[in-house]
Amino acid sequence: MRAVQMIAGVALAAAAGAATAATELMSEEWARAACVAWNADATLTGGLHESGWAANDKKRGYKALQVARKDCASSPKVEVRIAAKDGKALCVSGGRSVDKLDLDVDYAMTADTKRWTEMGKGEYGPMRAMMFGRLSFDGPMGEAMGNMGPFESFLLLVGKVPGDTAVCPK
């Protein structure tokens, strides 16, 4: 029985490793996984609802947070869409960006892969990243400044959601 459990564990680990290796950082698949991770993060789901951030959506029903890797210029941009739902700021979808952002309520962030990795590890937060030009940011700056803790939690998702940094998404 123990041998079967060990073989099953090795097979499961290998499958998980293969899935991680096949998912490029900031690909459509990665954005879907980031959506799941968002919903598991109490700082994001609770803090961004309590502050009123999620409800500031121009009555569209969602806010978009678009992310991209600067060094993957030909890659499509991806986003997570956040909605005020059930008393929380929940991610309702993740995937390729298809609609034009409304930068009065939406956010666009770009950084080199190396910088995303550093932010995902918590080596520095959003203020330092923007001050030193490591993170390009478009969107309602005042709103973002008022939600710096959750904003930092969002950047840490890059470190929590596995993604292959050796290749660019297609």
pLDDT by residue (tens digit) across 160-170?
999 999 999 99
Q: Encode pLDDT of 80-121 as tens digits.
A: 999 999 999 999 999 999 999 999 999 999 999 999 999 999
Distance CA 59, CA 119 (A): 31
- The CA radius of gyration of the chain, in Å to the nearest whole number, is 17
Q: Encode pLDDT of 41-78 as tens digits.
A: 999 999 999 999 999 999 999 999 999 999 999 999 99
User: How confident is the prediction for the chain on average, in pLDDT?
Assistant: 88
Q: What is the pLDDT of residue 11?
A: 35
Q: Angle, to 10 degrees, between the axis of helix 148-160 and the axis of helix 28-39?
A: 130
**Quick check: 12 pLDDT over 90?**
no
Which residue would you say has higher pLDDT here, 21 or 52?
Answer: 52
Kindly indicate the confidence band of residue 22, based on its pLDDT and cuts at 50, 70 and 90.
low
Distance CA 21, CA 145 (A): 35
Domains of the chain: 24-160 (3.30.1050.10)
pTM of the model as a whole: 0.84
Residue 92 near residue 62, CB atoms below 8 Å: yes
Q: Nearest-CA neighbor of 65 among 87, 44, 42?
A: 44
